Chain A
Amino acid sequence: MSAVLESRAQGPTLRQRLAARGIDGATLLVLPCVALILGLFIYPFLYGLVLSFQPKDGSLFGNYARFFSDPFLYGTIFKTLRLAFPVTLLNLLIAIPIAFRVRLLRRQRLLTTLLVLPITLGTVLVAEGMLFYFGPQGWFNRILMAVGLLSHPVSVLNGYWGVFISLVLTGFPFTFLLTLSYVTGIDPSLENAAATLGAGPAARFREVFLPLLVPGLAITFCLSFVQAYSVLPSAVLVGDPANATRVISIAAYQAAFEEYDYSMASAIAMIMGAVQLLVVVAVLGCRSLFYRGPAAGAKG
């Protein structure tokens, strides 16, 4: 006690001055976590960035010049985006109405578990399942033909649509879980207020929910996009990895582990990350055009 009084007489100690700025023993708990990310994420990233400027031919921008002059390489960017964008949008567009419906149910747990089930399947089971189920002799074609909707089997495999379906199946649960938690985070009394004032369901959605949901949906879009963007296994297993679904991660993987050109592989990884971050920044930038504020009512 006397020590405290003494230090008060001499002015604040270093410890107290740090504490006043929010730095004390508890704040230091963040350090191991920061060290981990610096060591295993930032350092490798910078290492890869430097490595990407040291190509086999010795020039500074050799890898990047090669990437952007070879249509077989730069085309992978558009092939990836052509898959990832529609898949993410579709997942989000299905997830929103379903989340609104599930929100009203009293016993949501069973339905939620069923909808989230594909998380447990893994790409390989989905790929194998698709080969059986959607194959020419699979139940999908057999049933549609038995009912008379199809005259001959349709094939969705080994091409764009195979990967598309596989990404929707594996990506939907994650998108749905995030959307559901944002939708249920909105205070129901806001909806009641709008209904009392005479707004119909469509108007309530447009004028009340949508503005409150946009920030959450933007984040959901980004996180789902990351998953769809890095498709590697399904693009190989149910796609056409040489042509239509030669996504950028295949190009990066081949450079690293088939040609053993780590410099080129790093360059492709950097380009991949840059495109991905551009999309994230664009989406989050659009978000700032909308309302930002509490969605959970005044008391939250």
Chain B
Amino acid sequence: MQKSFLSRLWIFAVWAVIGLFLVNLMGLIASVLTSSVATRWLGTWLPAGFTTRWYFAAWDEFQLGDVLWVTFQAVGAVVVLSGLLGVPAAYALARREFPAKRAVMLLLLLPLLVPPITYGIPLATVLYKAGLGGTLTGVILANLVPTVPFVVLVMIPFIEQIDPRTEAAARVFGANIFQMFVHVLVPMLMPGVLAALLLVLVRTIGMFELTFLVSGPGSQTLVVALYYAVFASGVRAVQSIDAMAVIYMATTLVWLIVALRFVNPTQIVGRGKRPAA
């Protein structure tokens, strides 16, 4: 089929926008990368020389070892808990019709439709009153608010794709609901669960507002520590902040690439139209 001039022009325009976006994005990332290994970089195309000392400086100055350990603990706990709470709830919502179902769905949608700062401020107030403000537990609890509904809403279409007769067969052969979950559902749902949890992981590493409002000196995750480093800069070399930002990017990038290997992005709001690949 001969393509008209206009449709070729349109295709070119779309590719031009993609190209423009990617070129500027790469320029931006490359600027930070270059700065993080630069000795001195003022008013020239490239820095005067290259060095790796800013990475060691950042590691010491910002106690990155501690910050990474806190981040790892907080994110790990959030991922595990949101999986344990979210997947069974998604199962109930996907398979059962019960009177308050619409109310429950609305309840789960609300935390996703309200900005984190809005509920973060009252939540932080309540957590501080309960003595959990500034603690790792508080950070974990606050981060569960958006992630559990997220897991539920992502998992519902995945569960709907599974033929209910599989579960019926397991029940006929005498499995109770727990056995059915462990031996039938979880293995079949594994790709979906992994996808949802990896997205929770990336989201939680990047969740600034809630952690910022709830965390104290010993419970800052990497994003928050990074923000304070920039906000209260002046005493620190820009390059060591850049080195820290690069470390942050590397930690999330690894997980995002793993996530995209497991999940086809087109399935995130999947409707079960394709047979599972």
In this complex, the member of A42, A94, A118, A230 whose beta carbon has the largest number of chain B beta carbons within 10 angstroms is: A230
Instruction: Decide if the interface of chain A is mainly helix, strand, loop or mixed.
Output: helix
Question: Which of B111, B119, B273 contacts A297 (CB under 8 A)?
Answer: B273
Among B50-58, B61-69, B72-80, B88-96, the stretch in contact with A: B88-96
Interface flags, A231-270, vs B, CB<8A=1, else 0: 0110011000000000001001100100000100110111
Q: Is the CB of B248 within 8 A of A125?
A: yes
Are B97 and A22 in touch, CB under 8 angstroms? yes
Taken together as a complex, chains A and B put the C-alpha atoms of A177 and B91 apart, in Å, by: 24
Is A273 close to B, CB under 8 A?
yes
Q: Is there contact, CB below 8 Å, between A41 and B209?
A: no
Given contacts A30-B93, A119-B256, contact A181 B113 (CB under 8 A): no
Q: Is B141 interfacial (CB 8 A cutoff)?
A: yes
Mark contacts of A44-66 with chain B using CB atoms, 8 A cut-off: 1 yes-contact digit, 0 otherwise: 11011101000000000000000
If A133-B28, A269-B121 touch, whether A44 touches B85 (CB-CB below 8 Å) is: no
Whole-angstrom CA separation of A25 from B244 in the bound complex: 48
B89–A30 CB distance below 8 A:
yes
- B117 close to A37 (CB less than 8 A): no
- Smallest beta-carbon distance A100→chain B, Å: 8
Task: Give chain B residues whose Cβ lies under 8 Å from the Cβ of A33.
Answer: 85-86, 88-89, 108, 148-149, 152
Residue of A nearest to B238 (CB): A128
In the complex, are the beta carbons of B242 and A40 less than 8 A apart?
Answer: no
Q: What is the number of contacts between chain A and chain B, taking CB atoms within 8 Å?
A: 286
Residue contact B115 to A230, C-beta cutoff 8 Å: yes
Tell me the count of chain A residues lying within 8 A, CB to CB, of chain B. Answer: 100
Q: Are B29 and A121 in contact (CB under 8 A)?
A: yes
Nearest A residue to B36 via CB reads: A128
Q: Whole-angstrom distance between the alpha carbons of A47 and B126 in the complex? A: 8
Interface string of B18-53 (1 = CB under 8 A from A): 100110110111111001000000111100000000
**Could you tell me if A101 and B14 are in contact, using CB atoms closer than 8 angstroms?**
yes
Q: Are B209 and A230 in contact (CB-based, < 8 A)?
A: yes
B145 proximity list for chain A (CB < 8 A): 36-37, 40-41
A210 CB–B CB distance under 8 Å: no
Q: Is the CB of A233 within 8 A of B227?
A: yes
Near A by CB (< 8 A), chain B positions 197-224 give 202, 206, 208-209, 212-213, 223
A25 proximity list for chain B (CB < 8 A): 177
Query: Measured between C-beta atoms, what is the minimum distance from B7 to chain A in Å?
Result: 6
Cβ of A87: which chain B residues have Cβ within 8 Å of it? none
A 119-152 contacts with B by CB, 8 A: 119-130, 132-133, 137-140, 142
Q: Find out whether the CB atom of B268 lies under 8 angstroms from the CB atom of A185.
A: no
Residue-wise interface mask of A (17-32) relative to B, using a CB-CB cutoff of 8 A (1 in contact, 0 not):
0000111111111101
A40: which of B15, B32, B123, B227 is its contact (CB, 8 Å)? B123
- C-alpha spacing A21/B242, complex, angstroms: 58
Instruction: Indicate if the CB atoms of A181 and B245 lie closer than 8 Å.
Output: no
CB distance from A17 to the nearest CB of B (A): 13
- Give the docked Cα–Cα distance between A114 and B106 (Å): 34
Q: CB of A117 within 8 A of chain B?
A: yes
Q: Given the complex, which residues of A lie within 8 Å of B273, measured CB to CB?
A: 185, 187, 296-297, 300
Separation of A127 and B248 alpha carbons in the complex (Å) = 14
A7 at the interface (CB under 8 A from B): no
CB pair A180 B111 closer than 8 Å: no
Q: List 8 A-B contacts (CB under 8 A).
A: A34-B89, A44-B126, A45-B119, A45-B122, A122-B226, A124-B245, A128-B238, A181-B266
Sort A-B residue pairs by CB-CB distance and give the 9 closest, nearest first: A48-B122, A230-B115, A33-B89, A29-B88, A129-B28, A132-B31, A22-B98, A120-B252, A125-B245
11 other A-B residue contacts (CB within 8 Å) besides A129-B32, A233-B208, A265-B125:
A37-B110, A41-B123, A44-B126, A100-B14, A111-B18, A115-B18, A132-B31, A139-B45, A181-B270, A232-B117, A252-B117
Interface residues of A (CB under 8 A from B): 21-30, 32-34, 36-38, 40-45, 47-49, 51, 94, 97-98, 100-101, 109, 111-130, 132-133, 137-140, 142, 169, 172, 177-178, 180-182, 184-185, 187, 201, 216, 222-223, 226-227, 229-230, 232-233, 236-237, 249, 252-253, 256, 262, 265-266, 268-270, 272-273, 276-277, 280, 295-297, 300
